[in-house]
Homo-oligomer: A and B are copies of this chain.
Amino acid sequence: MPKTAEECKARMEEVNLAIKKGAKTFLKKEYTYLGIFAVVFATIIYFAVDRVEGAEFPFTTVAFLVGASTSMLAGFLGMTIATITNVKTTYLCNGNRAEGFDHNKALDAGFTVAFQGGQVLGFCLVGLALILLEVLILSYKPSIITPEVIASNNWQVVSTEVRRLFEFVSGYGLGGSTVALFGRVGGGIYTKAADVGADLAGKVGEKLEEDSPKNPGTIADNVGDNVGDIAGMGADLFGSLAESTCAALVVSTSSQVLLSTPDAVYFPLLVTSAGIVASVLTVPFAYMFKHDVETKLKVQLIVSTLLMSALLIPVVLIVLPKTNLNFTFAEVPYPTTQWEAYGCILLGLWSGLFIGLITEYYTSKSYEPTKRLARACLYDASTNIINGLALGYMSNVIPIFCLAFTVLLSFSWAAMYGVALAAIGMLGCLPIALTIDGYGPISDNAGGIAEMSNLKKDVRKRTDELDAAGNTTAAIGKGFAIGSACLVALALFGAFITRTAESLSNPSVYQVNILEPFTFAGLLVGAMLPYWFSAMTMSAVGDAAQDMITEINRQVPHIKNNEAGYPDHEKCIGISTQASLQHMIAPGALVIISPLLGGWLFGYQATSGILAGCIVSGIQIAFSASNSGGAWDNAKKYVEAGQLEREDKNGTRTIVKKNDPEHAAAVVGDTVGDPLKDTSGPSINILIKLSAITSLVFGGFIATKGGLITRYL
């Protein structure tokens, strides 16, 4: 154990350097793959979109590349910040032992740094997304909305050209989401292969502590937190924001009133800007409620939602015209007052928070569902798994009703524009949500560094306290990430149908009839895609974890003999890197290719079916997988916190301890939940959105060149 403050610091730096290096190495490799992929995909976009559309300039292709690079930049920035602040957090939680030590002071100091790290991530990312989108729109505008178009004074012509502008810009969302998918899948496989492997071989097999420096898998596990939870999550929500804004812009062009009111068309961007302001105003509240970290974080979410609701009122009053907006969708008019538009955003904003709180109810160990789950561990690992799966399934019910209600109301107020606004509303307080999402892995890493640096036990206790609060609020974030994905995808679906109908000048396209055989077949296949996708990602984690176990077991005798070069962390990092890069390609390709291939071969009806099937089936798996996983994780923590009691035949109660059979049963659940909640579950968000935006961007191609086979039937 390091004695002096200098020794401590040096050891922390050393551990952190290993994490930093691992993360950078992985990101470099991943981005090389992604770069090649982006160039290839950009070429396809150029020929199938820009050329087919007869664009004056490769608008979509460039937008795609900008989106992809921004998303990569965001991931890189997030990770850099995280790997700087994690060690700082450990350092501050360690405290200055020389000048008389205070637990609460150290805890608060640690919280502040970790929270600030999250803030940098959150505000940078949202700001970046917004600014580059704005830049793209402004630089494309003059070439498309030419003076002749404006001079034509023909509303139809203007509307068509503005729609074209926004359709081109949608390439930005596609770029962001493509990178996000690979980031999420690759990062998810990386982190969970390391986590599962290190846990099973080290903790279960050799009874090592979590993050023990003797376990060769721990550095990989900590790298994974940054790669998956920071870079992956950041890119995911960046994609959601870009896509929902693009969707709103495309569908807004059906309103003549909106187009002719100055700046009103940029209303969606202004909503997000208002969210940034609301988030800035919320931050100071984090330093109230001293020493209770969980309350601090929850207050952040609730205050930002309240502030956002209020701030939107002046935005609506200033930007939106007082007259009805008169949207048209599928040739049906929707009058839409400015307050109905406000209502759509509010619905999204609050139902997002509500879905998050329901998610927390099902996954936090403070509530009955997870407590019940922990009690199932008293019988066997299998009863834990059965009840955990059932819990995940059950947790779908209220969020789905919530989403159905949001879709119903927002659609009936403002058609697809309403749905898009609801999605933007749900992402309204994104800077705060991202702050909290970033905060979690930073404190988790801080704990890892404390353990690996052999710091005193009380340091780990503090970082655990920070981490536990982050876990709870991260569950809330996951819930609304899935909910917003559903709304975003639906809005994009609406934009896709609009693009198709306009390309073909055929209003019957708006009738996406389930009883049309190609649509129904598409619906079936689309509903299957999330399963196929999950099967690939989960078995990738399973296989890679097995390789990791084999490697760790190989190292164990060498480590026990204290041989030089052992534990060999590099080797384990290599296994995770290799597995994730190798296995992210197939699921990624599946998502991008399916709607395109379906449309190309069987026409836009098939694409519509695939999209609808994918959305409605995907969010169910996403919710249930995330929540089962979260509940298992927390049930294990419940047991480890000594909160589970068993009763013997005589009615005597004893507390279940670590490494008892009941705890082992809880660990099985936690391990099963790892890939569900951190690999396949959250990737399905992106699957849903990405397939929808791919269809939108390639909408013109699918409409005009699609149906290769059906034409000959």
Residues of chain A whose beta carbon lies under 8 Å from any beta carbon of chain B = 196, 200, 204, 329-330, 376, 379-383, 385-387, 389-394, 396-397, 400-401, 403-405, 407-408, 411-412, 486, 490, 493-494, 497, 510-515, 517-528, 531-532, 534-536, 538-539, 541-542, 545-546, 549, 553-554, 557, 608, 612-613, 616-617, 619-620, 624, 649, 667-669, 671-672, 675-676, 713
Residue from B412, B521, B546 in contact with A407 in the complex, judged by beta carbons closer than 8 Å: B521
The answer to whether A527 and B525 touch across the interface, beta carbons within 8 angstroms, is no
Set B411, B490, B617: member contacting A616, Cβ < 8 A: B617
A668 to B665 alpha-carbon distance, docked (Å): 10
The 9 sampled A-B contact pairs (Cβ below 8 Å) are: A200-B383, A379-B545, A400-B524, A408-B518, A412-B517, A494-B515, A514-B608, A524-B616, A553-B649
Complex contacts, A549 vs chain B, CB 8 Å = 379-380
Q: Which residues from chain B contact A408 at a C-beta distance below 8 Å?
A: 517-518, 521
Q: In this complex, what residue of B is CB-closest to A389?
A: B538
- Complex CA distance for A523 and B519, rounded to whole angstroms: 14
Looking across the interface, which residue of chain B has its beta carbon closest to that of A204? Answer: B380
Q: For the complex formed by this chain, how many copies does it contain in all?
A: 2
Nearest-neighbor residue (CB-CB) of A625 within chain B = B389
Q: Given known contacts A390-B539, A612-B514, is B534 in contact with A385 (CB within 8 Å)? A: no
- Complex Cα distance, B527 from A603, in Å, reads 25
Q: Are B401 and A535 in contact (CB under 8 A)?
A: no
Extra contacts, 4 of them, besides A397-B531, A523-B612 (Cβ < 8 A), are: A376-B542, A379-B549, A405-B521, A412-B517
Verify A672–B382 contact, CB threshold 8 A: yes
Residue of B nearest to A512 (CB): B514
**B contact residues around A528 at 8 Å (CB):** 396-397, 400, 620
- Nearest 3 Cβ contacts at the A-B interface: A382-B671, A393-B535, A394-B535
Which residues of B lie under 8 Å from residue A330 when comparing CB positions? 513, 515
A381 to B379, Cβ gap below 8 A?
Answer: no
- Given A380-B671, A649-B554, residue A517 in contact with residue B396 (CB < 8 A): no
In chain B, what residue has the closest Cβ to A400? B528
Contacts of A676 in B (CB 8 A): 389
CA separation between A392 and B680, bound complex, in Å? Answer: 14
Which residues on the B side are within 8 Å of A380 (C-beta)?
Answer: 200, 204, 549, 668, 671
Q: Which residue of B lies closest to A406 (CB)?
A: B521
Say how far A629's CB is from chain B's closest CB, in angstroms: 11
Closest to A411 in B: B517
Residue of B nearest to A412 (CB): B517
- Set of chain B residues within 8 Å of A404, measured between Cβ atoms: 521-522, 524-525
Instruction: Please state if A393 and B531 are interface contacts (CB–CB under 8 Å).
Output: yes
Among A512, A539, A542, A624, the most chain B Cβ lie within 10 Å of the Cβ of A542
Which chain B positions have C-beta within 8 A of A541? 386
CB closest residue in chain B, given A553: B649
A18–B179 alpha-carbon span in the complex (Å): 63
**A648 CB to nearest chain B CB (Å):** 10
The residue of chain B having its C-beta at the shortest distance from the C-beta of A537 within the complex is B390
In the bound complex, CA of A525 to CA of B531 (Å): 19
Say how far A328's CB is from chain B's closest CB, in angstroms. 13
Which of B515, B535, B619 touches A512 (beta carbons < 8 Å)? B515
Provide the bound-state CA to CA distance between A405 and B524, in Å. 10
Q: How far is the CA of A521 from the CA of B512 in the complex (A)?
A: 14
Minimum C-beta distance from A710 to chain B (A): 10
* A553 and B493 alpha carbons, distance in the complex (Å): 56
Complex Cα spacing A481 to B144, Å: 56
The reply to whether A383 and B545 contact each other, CB–CB distance below 8 Å, is yes
Partner of A400, one of B196, B376, B400, B525: B525
Measured CA separation A523–B400 after assembly (Å): 10
A486 to B523, CA, bound (A): 13
**Contact between A386 and B612 (Cβ–Cβ < 8 Å)?**
no
Contact A542 B200 (CB under 8 A): no
Q: Which residues in B have their C-beta under 8 angstroms from that of A713?
A: 412
Contact A542 B668 (CB under 8 A): no
B381 touches A649 (CB 8 A): no
Residue from A400, A405, A525 with most neighbouring chain B CB atoms (10 Å): A400
A218 to chain B, nearest CB (A): 18
Verify B525–A401 contact, CB threshold 8 A.
Answer: yes
Residue of B nearest to A543 (CB): B387
A557 engages B649 (CB within 8 Å): yes
| Complex Cα gap A669–B404 (Å) | 35
Assess whether B675 is in contact with A616, with CB atoms less than 8 Å apart: no
- Select which of B518, B527, B675 is within 8 A of A386 by beta carbon: B675
Question: How far, in angstroms, from A394 to B668 measured CA to CA in the complex?
Answer: 22
Q: Which residues in B have their C-beta under 8 angstroms from that of A405?
A: 521
**Alpha-carbon gap, A526 to B675, bound state (A):** 27
Q: CA–CA, A330 to B532, complex, Å?
A: 33
A383 to chain B: which residues have CB within 8 Å?
196, 200, 542, 545-546, 671
Q: How far is the CA of A22 from the CA of B553 in the complex (A)?
A: 51
Least CB separation from A671: chain B residue? B382
Q: Which of B204, B512, B515, B539 contacts A394 (CB 8 A)?
A: B539
Residue in B closest to A404 when the chains form the complex, CB atoms: B521
CB neighbours (8 Å) of A379 from chain B are 200, 545-546, 549
Complex CA–CA separation, A525 to B486 (angstroms)? 13
Instruction: Name A490's contact: one of B397, B511, B520, B522 (CB within 8 Å).
Output: B520
Q: Is the CB of A385 within 8 A of B616?
A: no
Q: Give complex CA distance A554, B648 in Å.
A: 10
Known: A391-B535, A515-B512. A381 touches B524 (CB 8 A): no
Residue among A329, A381, A382 with most chain B CB within 10 A: A382
Interchain CA distance A612-B613 in the complex, whole Å:
10
